[in-house]
């Protein structure tokens, strides 16, 4: 495993983050694994040197945080040995204040997350989406208070438009408060619209990118085929994936398959190696429901693609509508 700073912050993370959304309650998603099935995968990640783990309060309505806290507590001798990230925004109950990025919701949510995680702080507290109903001044002041209280060491953001992220950063810095050190954005070989504005902004601001869905919800690993063919349980029950990607993207998938075949490695390794080499990317967030998924991700850290291979992978790209929320 290799390690890097998260943007220009002092926080060091492994070049891969393990996404903990895959571990939770099957009643929430059919493909999610219970704790006993998740443990061998998380253990393999720890043994491989992964130190960065990402979850959210809304994953299985808190169940993922509970599993994450227990597993990391068993697998690491000290809390200081790993970087723990979680998120806030989505509804966690029926009440009108149990959602969004108001001071009320942020302050109650950080305490609830810490209880479920079994720790007194998270290393990275992220806003899961942009809140169109709450003034950004209120949100950034509340997040600054979370940092000043010691309940979070750093703050990060997730999918939004670049102008929104710039506004949030300006608001924080004008007030002398904590600013975002990371952006968890949607970025992979078949969705590269972040290269237009968001990634240049992050590079300018010293913000580290931790892309979600680096394999396009399995598309770049061969989980889907043209014409609606589905090869995995998750691909067969993923309406968001149907919305985000189209048959036009399979030309990119074919290029990944060709390079992978020539290299004699799985497609996932090639797709992740491309992303790991992109400017501004600190650590893609990978999901794993089998140890083989994790092994492919770890191997990608050491896979260096040639300029010719990168050109072949990028050539078939078809532009997508810019999405600030997913």
The catalytic residue positions are 59
* Cα 20 to Cα 52, 70, 84, 157, 192, distances in angstroms: 10, 12, 11, 17, 24
Per the CB < 8 A criterion, the answer to whether 272 and 286 are in contact is yes
* Cα 125 to Cα 122, 272, 300, distances in angstroms: 6, 25, 27
Strands 208-209 and 180-184: parallel
How far apart, in whole angstroms, are the C-alpha atoms of residue 19 and residue 108?
Answer: 23
Angle among Cα 125, 181, 42 to the nearest 5 degrees reads 55
Per the CB < 8 A criterion, the answer to whether 210 and 180 are in contact is no
Per the CB < 8 A criterion, the answer to whether 264 and 273 are in contact is no
């Amino acid at each position: 495993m290799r390690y890097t700073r998260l943007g220009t912050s002092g926080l060091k993370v492994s070049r891969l983050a393990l996404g903990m959304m895959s571990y939770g309650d099957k009643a929430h998603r059919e493909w999610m694994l219970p704790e006993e099935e998740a443990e061998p995968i998380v253990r393999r990640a720890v043994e491989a040197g992964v130190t960065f783990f990402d979850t959210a309060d809304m994953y299985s309505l808190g169940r993922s945080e509970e599993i994450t806290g227990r597993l990391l507590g068993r697998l690491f001798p000290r809390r200081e040995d790993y970087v723990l990230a979680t998120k806030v925004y989505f509804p966690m109950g029926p009440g009108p204040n149990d959602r969004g990025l108001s001071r009320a919701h942020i302050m109650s949510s950080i305490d609830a997350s810490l209880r479920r995680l079994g720790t007194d702080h998270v290393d990275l507290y992220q806003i899961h989406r942009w809140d169109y109903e709450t003034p950004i001044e209120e949100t950034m002041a509340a997040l600054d208070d979370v940092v000043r209280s010691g309940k979070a060491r750093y703050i990060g953001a997730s999918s939004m438009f670049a102008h929104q992220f710039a506004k949030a950063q300006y608001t924080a810095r004008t007030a002398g408060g904590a600013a975002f050190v990371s952006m968890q954005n949607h970025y992979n070989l078949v969705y590269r619209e972040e290269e237009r504005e968001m990634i240049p902004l992050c590079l300018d601001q010293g913000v580290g990118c931790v892309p979600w869905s680096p394999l396009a919800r399995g598309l770049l690993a061969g989980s889907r085929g043209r014409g609606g063919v589905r090869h995995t349980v998750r691909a067969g029950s993923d309406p968001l994936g149907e919305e985000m990607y189209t048959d036009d993207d399979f030309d990119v998938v074919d290029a990944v398959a060709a390079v992978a075949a020539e290299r004699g490695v799985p497609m996932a390794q090639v797709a992740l190696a491309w992303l790991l080499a992109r400017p501004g990317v600190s650590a893609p967030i990978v999901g794993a429901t089998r140890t083989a998924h994790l092994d492919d991700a770890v191997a990608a850290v050491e896979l260096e693609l040639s300029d010719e291979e990168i050109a072949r992978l990028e050539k078939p790209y078809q532009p997508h509508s810019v999405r600030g929320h997913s």
